[in-house]
Structure 1
Amino acid sequence: MPDPTTPPPEVGALIAALDHTDIGISVFDRDLALVYCNKRFIELFEYPAEFATPGTPLDSFLQFEGGRSAYGPRDDQMQAREWIHPARRPVAQRVEVTRANGTQVELVRRPLPDGGVVTTYREHARASPDLVVPSISFEGLMLALDYVTDGFHVWDVDDRLVYANARVQKLNQAAGTPLRLGMTFEEHVRDRVAAGQVPDALADPEAYVAHRVELHRLGGRSLTTRTPGGRWVLIRDHRLPDGGTITSSQDVTELKRVEQAYRDSEQRFHDFVNASSDRFWETDANQRFTMVVDTKVARRFPPVSQLIGKTRWEVIGRDPEDDAHLAAHKAALEAHQPFRDFRYEVPAPDGSTRFWRVSGVPVFDEAGTFTGYRGTSSDETEFSQELARARRELQEALRQAEVANRAKSLFLATVSHELRTPLNAIIGFSDLMVNRVFGPLGNRHYEGYVQDIQVSGQHLLSLIEDVLDLSRIEMGQIRLRLGRVDLRSEAQSAVAMVKARRGQQVAEILVDIPDQFPPLSADARLIRQILINLVSNAAKFTTADGHIRVAAEVDGDGVAISVADDGIGIDPADHGKVLRPFEQADNRLTRRYEGVGLGLPLTKAFVEVHGGALSLDSAVGKGTTITIRLPRERIAGPEEGLQAAAADR
């Protein structure tokens, strides 16, 4: 007669299978006495081996836990009852707890029809003591495994299926590959491949079947495979002592997702590193390199081997105390300050120089003690060489432009001189004829022609004089002939000259300069030309019924001279243009007026020769005000003269 305490062969195989899982299992009856537990349960909670004996009361477990304070600072027995063995609760429950030793355990409890409870325990860590295998009824053990979330197959020594838990049966039924007791492992694999449940087998089904059967035969192997729905499953084969095999399957989709996210993050960081800097480095509290990583394939100088254990000053080969740039950086490091884009040069053995740019942040430990720096370095040698080459090319282009400009100025000066000589003769002879020095011309039409010749000649001579002045300015040949200049008198002369040239078609011009205005220490010819140019310009672009005002005042900065009109004005976008030689504001109104665009540029140059500045305030339809500011040293005479002028204003 068989021993009633000895489990049948099927139960023995199943018990052996459960002792090879990573999940702890316990079954307590309605009286809170142990019915069954596997090895993992005893290992997980480090219970004495005798606790695995069926019939061990729950209180023994609780008292043991209470004696070692395994569940935190609260009342140990109460804590244990709450989250490990609430066997009297008739409802299913899932709890995730942290033990006092820091391990995390997931508990899944389900009530049994007879009033007992089956609980599974899963954690990250493992232990492997040898424990005693208990006895359990075949029906109770199968019921317990049906509540496990992982899948289990048990194969006998002939590799035929003797058991599959509910989880596996449900999944295979849904996939169209129902399990049959007695089927071989190879038949099971072929069923799943034929049903398209193994995406990895699509390329070569027979090769996959052979490979999978071989892994199963060897035992102790594991593989991760993908389901048609995109889930990931970890499959493990464990050899049993009797020659059979247990196959477990665990859904690791979430773990795969986390792993992929980690790989993506790592790759992203790696890409950022490769795109950002050539080196990453770390120094100790004494500023000596302890770690240097090259991120680029190209060999850099100095090589990593020459950096470890050295300070940056030793690598550069210069004492920071002898270089203000290095000294300032060293002071920042000693003050433990972060720094960015510090640039320095490193001489190479071949006589060349490498240019580096570094940035770093100080590092402190948990106690706040400075431990060194971490940072990045970029080799800017190629960039620096390109920049130097571009600078040389720019300097050469500027030199050539200056040569061309001087040649142009020399040409203008030469041509102007050549034109002025015969032009003076034309003007002189026409003047004799206009004044009838040698008698009447004989025909009244000739008199009009002669006057036209004289006016045109004067205009052409004025243009030539402007070109000569421009060439002198560009060649740096303008020299001031300083003298005492009566600004009010010069302004009145300029106004009279402009009125004489333009006849009756001229706006009202007011000279608003006091009689006692202090004389200027300036070049009289240039001041006169400045005033003529400004008044002439204002009269040219102001209608006959308009108004022009010439004013001057003394303030704390020196002398301010202004010419304001209410003429057509200048678009602000053209302000810079009208101050450049041979350029004019590009609008339909200005095209009606004579001139080649030299008046304002020459005026600006004459003002700057005196150490002053010219400013323009104008808008279309609102007139124009041009202000000239001369420094205080351009005021001649005693200080009281200046004060009197200011008081008169």
Structure 2
Amino acid sequence: MMSDATLSVLVLDHLAEGVLLIDSDGRIVYANKRASALLGRDAGALLGTTFSAPIETDTPVEIAFPHTDGEILIADMLVVALETEGNRLSLVSLRDMTTRYEAEAQLREREATYRAVITYANDGFWLTDRTGKALEVNDTYLRMTGFSREELLGQRPDYVDAEEDAEMGRARLARILKTGGDLFETRHRTRDGGVIDVEVSASFTSTIADGRMFVFIRDITPRKRAEASILAAKTAAEEANRAKSEFLAAMSHDLRTPLNAILGFTEVMQMQTFGPLGEAHYAQYVNDIHDSGALLISLVDDLLDLAKVEAGKYEMHEEPLDVSAVMTLARQQTASMAADAGQTVTIDTPDGLPRLMADRRALVQVFTNLLTNAIKFNRQDGAIRFSAEASETGGLFVRVADEGIGMTAVEIEKALRPFEQVDSAHARKHKGTGLGLFLCGQIMRLFGGRVHVDSTPGVGTTVTLRFPLDRVGPGPEAPEES
């Protein structure tokens, strides 16, 4: 039968913990197999050696001491005081904590890495519970929106979502919980009342606590703006192509009409259909040929001038101009057209009107184009007021006001674009290139000014040319007294 001592040794050698007996002098008098393994030495070699660790009874401590293979051993140590046969002993139990310590260190390192990734990520980040409540928000998202962390913790995504209300947010959350994730675009509010476009990538896992959702938020506002710009440019290009197609059709008509008239009248004269060329009947044909040629020159001039402006080669020879005199010249150039239409053009300028630094030919062209439009679209026997005045800020205003068919806001916008004309029965009676008003605007930009159109359907249209202060000089000199 096994003795009690033998049984005790057998039991101690099969314990998972290391056990040492230390005498009052601090020498090891017993070591079980696990203690030998922990310390890296045979039990026989340990006996009689001094145990260097401090011994405090009944107080668990964590100690680190070198293993014979050079590794550092981390262990929980508990010391119990014993007394047997007048000998005072210390029972030391050692529990190896190295593996757990290393695991905890690795866990801490992973957590630190995770926090660094989240903190320094270029995208915003929310960590939420399964109900969507924010448990953590990274600094990037705070910078994106201007909110503080305290304002967002405990909130759900609908708190910042500018497009989803609470009900829509719950529906999306249910889909994420069911499918495990979602990728979508939305808009988030910022603390200052603004809105940013965002791309949201949400993933749900049920393996952490009662479930966690990882939400990455990327600010895509610059991309959205770029897409909008590209779309606007595409739309503008398509609109320009459409307008140019319409322009080519209009040009084809407008060029053929006077050319056909010229060819037709010259053929009649060539064949002397109504007798010798000296007959008075041909005089009207000569006038018609002249008018058709003048129309062709006007069309070609508009096209050439537009090409020069767009190419930056429109030459201007600027000089101080008497605005009233230039207005009178423009009225003279359109007098025949106004008379044929039964129109009256009245010039209204104050005394002492300041001179305008501009190119004479370009200014006459702008004034003439505006008067031509006013005559075309004025009512029968209507009046046209051609006026100029100095502005309160030191600039100069020139206005052409008619009593014609007028335009809506949409039609005004269309009239200011190149190659386009307002689509109305009255407009169709006066075919043109659709370049006149646009060309006026381009020339005014060269002057540093702009064109403004006010119009009311059925009442009339007023076009205002606004010249800046740096274009305006002193008024004309008074004539000397004799």
Q: Which TM-score band applies after superposition, normalised by the shorter structure?
A: 0.3 to 0.5
Which one has a bigger Cα radius of gyration?
A: 1
TM-score by length of 2: 0.48
